[in-house]
Amino acid sequence: MLKETELLTLFFQSTSTPEKSSQLKYLENLATGKLVHMRDGNITLYKRERSNQWQMRFRLFDKKWHRVSTGYEDLEYAKKKAGDIYDRARFMEELGLPPLNKRFDSAAEAAKVELQGDLDNGVGKKIYVDYISVIDNYLTPFFGKKHLTSINHQDIAEYEVWRAEKMKRKLMRSTMMTHFSAYNRVFDLAIKRGWLSDKHPVPRLGTKGEKSTPRPAFTRKEIDYLLHFLKTWSQGGKTEEAHLGRLLLRDYIEILMATGMRHGTEAFNIQWRHLEWHTDKGVRYLRIWVSGKTGPRWLIARHEAIPVIERLKNRFSEWDHLTLDQLLEEKREEFLWRHPNGERPYDFVSSFKWLMKDSGLLLSTTGAKRTMYSFRHTYATFSLVEWGMDIHTLAKQMGTSVQMLERFYSKLTATLAAEKLAG
């Protein structure tokens, strides 16, 4: 066998091509024992450059190659293990089940790659960042070495106790839903890749956490003060970058207050092509197309948004020759939230915290910290109390359900109903 290999090697060396170089490498590995065939060529044992353990690849009746480590450095042990893996895989294939029993950490890593890929390509939701964090900090450390098919309800119960001890606080329902969704992403991907049968019963994480409460809104007096404070505050900043960030934050906040859209995925990804004029009964309104948590929708901005859009346009000198109408007609794909040099802010969270501290509005009267979502809740409150918007129209505008609004704003709706009934 060795002599034949040597003769073939001499032949391939005489006329070198990429294909022959590959074949030559194969023959060298075969001759030096780095490549071993078993079961009529259906199993191949080999070693990777940075590992002393024998790896195996094998082919079943589906004609697909499957790869797995034998876990052994000794060839004889590796051969026996490879035979056992192959026989079990054949048996699983005959039952219509996945031939390999993958560990949770393998599926979790693949799920992270998929989530990050969506984020990098601009099609991922902001919650994907949280899913990746949950996978890294909770799911993989606990379930990582367990096989997907071996995870049972007892494991789930132990995980939930372990997680509670690790977090050292009661979990809100929203946090538990994030863990629930991240966990499901891992198993859904495993089924999609054929690593787990869709008929296999997957034990699910619990979702009954502490009931969440609305983030604190601003009162009318507070929001009037903040909008006035922003006019001066936005002109400051120790550096040019900080100054531009403040200007953009002011615009961002005023748009949130004029639309009720969600901070993050909905608001941050708006492009100029998503803005257009809508005329109804002789009145012209600014209409914005947003896409986020509950899918895409059109919403109508309050008239206060128009001066903000004008400010954003006027920061770009290359658009000086265009009116706002002409700019909107061009349906440009540039993002709304960007600096004059074209760069986009990473987000507005850090600068918002500084604004809240500087304005003295960080904490509500109940002591709760305000966040960007406080503007959405302020918009909902003002819509119901001040602007006389009915709850069905508000639900459509905000991309949520009437039931959700009633649950969070039940006291407001009850007060409004009482006023109408008594009036």
Q: What is the DSSP letter of 39?
A: G
Query: Which residues of the chain fall short of a pLDDT of 50?
Result: 1-2, 5, 7-8, 11-12
Cα(98)–Cα(163) distance, integer angstroms: 30
The pLDDT value recorded for residue 137 is: 93
**DSSP structure class, residue 372:** T
φ, ψ at 53 (rounded to 5°)? -80, 145
- Residue 93 contacts residue 61 (beta carbons within 8 Å): yes
Assess contact for 283 and 272: CB atoms under 8 A. Answer: no
Contacts of 61 (CB under 8 A, 6+ apart): 93
Phi, psi of 69 (to 5 degrees): -85, 145
Calpha distance 32→124 (Å, rounded): 48
Q: Give the span between the Cα atoms of 301 and 397, in whole angstroms.
A: 9
Structure tokens at 413: 């709706």
In 10 A of CB 79, how many CB atoms? 18
Judging by beta carbons within 10 Å of its beta carbon (0-12, 13-18, 19+), is residue 152 exposed, middle or buried? exposed
SS3 310: helix
CA-to-CA dists, residue 50 to 55, 102, 237, angstroms: 12, 22, 52
CA dihedral sign of residues 77, 81, 86, 87: positive
**H or E segment and range at residue 67:** strand 65-69
Lateral strand order in the sheet of 295-300: 275-280, 283-292, 295-300
Q: How many residues does the chain have?
A: 423
> What's the pTM value of the predicted model, to 2 decimals?
0.55
Instruction: Kindly give, in sequence order, each residue whose CB lies less than 8 Å from that of residue 294, ignoring residues fewer than 6 positions away.
Output: 399, 400
pLDDT at 71: 80
Please tell me the predicted confidence (pLDDT) of residue 349: 86
pLDDT of residue 1: 45
Q: CA nearest 304: which of 247, 253, 268?
A: 253
- In degrees, rounded to 5, the angle at the alpha carbon of residue 217 between the alpha carbons of residues 213 and 221 is 155
Q: What is the DSSP string of 251-309?
A: HHHHHHHHH-PPTTHHHHT-BGGGEEEEEETTEEEEEEEEEETTEEEEEEPPTTHHHHH
pLDDT at 2: 46
Tokens 């404070």 found at: 229
Terminal-to-terminal C-alpha distance of the chain = 102
